[in-house]
Amino acid sequence: MSSKKKGSRFEELIDAARSRQQRDNLQLRVEKTSRLAKSTDPNYIRTTIYLPKQLHRQLKAAAANEQRQMSDILIELLERWLDTASN
C-alpha cells in the first residue's frame, strides 16, 4: 500500500504545468546552445580591422550597454552603409 497522500486535482494541474514549463525551458536552453558560434558557422568569416583606440572603447561600451556583440553592431552598420552606397 502506498503511503503517498493523494493530492487535489488543483495540485495535479499545478504539477503538470510546472513539469511542462521545466520541459519547455530545457528545450529552449538546448536550442540556444545548439546554435553554431560564429567561429564555427560556415556562413561567417573572420576578418581583422584596425580601429582607433577611442572608437574601439566606445563601441565596446555601447555593445556591453546594449548586451550585444560588437560584431553584430558592425554587421548592422555595414549592411546599412552598403544599402545606401548601392542606391
Q: Check pLDDT > 80 for residue 10.
A: yes
Q: Check pLDDT > 60 for residue 39.
A: yes
Q: Mean pLDDT for the chain?
A: 85
| Domain range 40-87, CATH class | mainly alpha
Break the chain into its structural domains and give their ranges.
7-36, 40-87
Residue 87's pLDDT band, with cuts at 50, 70 and 90, is confident
What is the pLDDT, as a whole number, of residue 32? 57
pLDDT tens, position by position, 11-30: 888 888 888 888 777 766 65
> Are 40 and 46 contacting, i.e. CB atoms less than 8 angstroms apart?
no
CA gap 51, 49 in Å, rounded: 6
> Are 38 and 71 contacting, i.e. CB atoms less than 8 angstroms apart?
yes
